[in-house]
């Protein structure tokens, strides 16, 4: 099958050919006919398999045969969880629709809203948006959906993870009931399927890969290392292997800034992107990384769904994500469009539960590969998904080599005999909010993973936290003040001092 046999117009085929594509990917081959026929669609595929073109091409074909959008109207609405992904989808719309008389716009937070309002005033055929900014524009009557024909939720699972469900429900309430609904995502969790039942009607369900599977084009490595030496190991790997383009994921914004600064001080051209950065700074950092001016880009999970970098060779998990599905999306930044890539996770002993969750999700027991000179004091024990029936991928449980595992690992295999040393795994705080655009406040932990995470973070029995100690001191002070008050102290002054 090729694109020319799928019922697409000559203008769209011209744009597709200009990008060097002749045959559709697996997801495109199934999704394009279903969308062209007007069906609701639920499509799941790994990142890098062409999901965006899978809905962009048929939507442009359908819109080209209709009436142009009126003032402040949008005929198609595409919702994405992050600004980067919104910009990427809009770029795809512009690329494949360049020979069509259609208009499009992208709106997201972090930039001035007035230019967006002016653009929407003329009406657009395709509007790509993040939920928070779209609601701002709708509440200011800058956009209406009276004639909306198609709704697309891209990376819907990520939107729910980030707490956008209340915003999405508000948006759905403003849309006409008669419309085509498309859900495209890398994974479909139980929560997404429950939500989809309220949205789609008799959908065509497409899944071209096993649920929550990682791409076969990505070689995955686990490097046990003590937390205090993670930055040192990352520097060692980058320098010894002379890596020119590395995407590093940090769990927190502060951690991303700190790591980027440490790499810069060591002579590695680095930059950080996360939700606290302005949109201009994020765009500049990403452009420099794509152009090769920045060697290492340190990012939080805001970038896990929105980065589209051609032939990105390496991804590094400096911290393992709290949500195991995010591991799939992180490493999906490499090994895209048939290319090969490598993903490396620097894992300390306190991250064993996150690693176990990832192994359960992907149904893989990873070999622990210790880099020479970075033997951890606290080992990362082996785990066995599915009741221990799976064997570690790549051979025995622990592997040691003379070279870092960016490529083939030399040396023999051995099983580590070091004991855990009584070091018990622990979790730091909950998942950081990546984008911060939801008007519903901080996302709630409602998934099974979130419940498990909360339980694992519970303090030990009998342990007293600093907050508890502080509250005890305040209660004692209050009791003492009460006794003084009974003795004639009626000044009304707070026992804690002056008000702040």
The distance of Cα 270 from the centroid of its chain, to the nearest Å, equals 20
Mean pLDDT for the chain? 79
| Complete DSSP assignment for 24-49 | --HHHHHHHHHHHTT--EEEE--TTS
Q: Are 316 and 249 in contact (CB under 8 A)?
A: yes
Do the bridges between strand 314-317 and strand 204-207 make them parallel or antiparallel, or are there none, so unpaired? unpaired
Q: What is the pLDDT of residues 43-56, one digit of tens each?
A: 987 666 788 999 99
Rounded distance, CA 74 to CA 172, Å?
Answer: 14
Is 208's pLDDT higher than 90?
Answer: no
pLDDT grade, residue 168 (50/70/90)? very high
Q: Which residues contact 276 (CB under 8 A, 6 or more apart)?
A: 253
Average of per-residue pLDDT across 248-260:
93
* For the ranges 42-46, 95-99, 311-315, 466-470, the one whose mean pLDDT is highest: 95-99
Res 255 pLDDT > 60: yes
Looking at residue 361, its pLDDT comes to: 87
Per-residue pLDDT of 93-110, as tens digits, reads 999 999 999 999 999 998
Closest CA to 165 of 127, 198, 141: 198
Per-residue pLDDT at 303 exceeds 80: no
Region of poorest pLDDT, from 137-151, 254-268, 352-366, 428-442:
428-442
* Model pLDDT, residue 213: 61
Higher pLDDT, 166 or 417: 166
464 pLDDT higher than 90: no
Examine the pLDDT at 403 and tell me if it is beyond 50: no
Q: How far is 183 from 280, CA to CA, in rounded Å?
A: 29
**pLDDT of 394 higher than 80:** no
Percent of the chain with pLDDT over 70: 72
Q: What is the model's pLDDT at position 401?
A: 53
Average pLDDT for residues 458-466, to the nearest whole number?
Answer: 50
Give me the DSSP letters along 410-444. Answer: -S-B-------TT------S-PPPSS---TT-SPP
Phi first, then psi, for residue 21 (nearest 5°) are -105, 135
């Amino acid at each position: 099958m090729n694109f020319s046999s799928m019922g697409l117009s000559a203008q769209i085929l011209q744009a597709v050919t200009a990008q060097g594509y002749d045959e559709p990917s697996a997801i495109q081959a199934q999704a394009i006919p279903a969308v062209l026929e007007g069906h609701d669609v639920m499509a799941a595929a790994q990142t890098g398999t062409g999901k965006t073109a899978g809905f962009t091409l048929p939507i442009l074909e359908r819109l080209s045969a209709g009436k142009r959008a009126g003032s402040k109207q949008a005929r198609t609405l595409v919702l994405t969880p992050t600004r980067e992904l919104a910009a990427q989808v809009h770029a795809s719309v512009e690329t494949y629709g360049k020979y069509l008389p259609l208009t499009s716009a992208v709106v997201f937070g972090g930039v001035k809203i007035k230019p967006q309002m002016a653009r929407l005033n003329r009406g657009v055929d395709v509007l790509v948006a993040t939920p928070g900014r779209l609601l701002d524009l709708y509440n200011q009557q800058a956009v209406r959906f009276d004639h909306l024909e198609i709704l697309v939720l891209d990376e819907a699972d990520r939107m729910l993870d980030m707490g956008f469900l209340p915003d999405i429900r508000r948006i759905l309430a403003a849309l006409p009931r008669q419309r085509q609904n498309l859900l495209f995502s890398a994974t479909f969790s139980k929560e997404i399927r429950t939500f989809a039942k309220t949205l789609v009607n008799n959908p065509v369900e497409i899944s071209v890969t096993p649920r929550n599977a990682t791409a076969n084009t990505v070689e995955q490595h686990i490097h046990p290392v003590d937390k205090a030496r993670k930055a040192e190991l990352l520097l060692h790997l980058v320098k010894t292997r002379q890596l020119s383009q590395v995407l590093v994921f940090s769990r927190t914004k502060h951690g991303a800034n700190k790591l980027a600064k440490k790499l810069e001080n060591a002579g590695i051209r680095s930059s950080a992107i996360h939700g606290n950065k302005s949109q201009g700074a994020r765009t500049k950092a990403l452009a420099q990384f794509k152009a090769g001016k920045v060697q290492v880009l340190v990012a939080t999970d805001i970038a896990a769904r929105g980065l589209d970098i051609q032939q990105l060779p390496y991804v590094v998990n400096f911290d393992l994500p709290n949500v195991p599905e995010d591991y799939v999306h992180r490493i999906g930044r490499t090994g895209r469009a048939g290319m090969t890539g490598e993903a490396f996770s620097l894992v300390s002993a306190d991250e064993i539960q996150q690693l176990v969750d990832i192994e359960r999700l992907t149904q893989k027991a990873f070999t622990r590969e210790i880099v020479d000179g970075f033997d951890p004091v606290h080992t990362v024990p082996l785990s066995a998904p599915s009741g221990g029936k799976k064997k570690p991928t790549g051979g025995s449980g622990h592997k040691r080599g003379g070279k870092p595992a960016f490529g083939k690992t030399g040396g023999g295999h051995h099983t580590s005999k070091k004991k855990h040393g009584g070091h018990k795994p622990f979790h730091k705080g909950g998942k950081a909010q990546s984008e911060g655009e939801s008007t519903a406040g901080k996302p709630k932990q409602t998934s099974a993973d979130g419940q498990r995470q909360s339980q694992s973070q519970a303090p030990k029995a009998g342990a007293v936290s600093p907050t508890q100690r502080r509250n005890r001191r305040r209660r004692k002070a209050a009791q003492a003040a009460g006794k003084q008050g009974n003795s004639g102290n009626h000044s009304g002054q707070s026992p804690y001092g002056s008000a702040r």
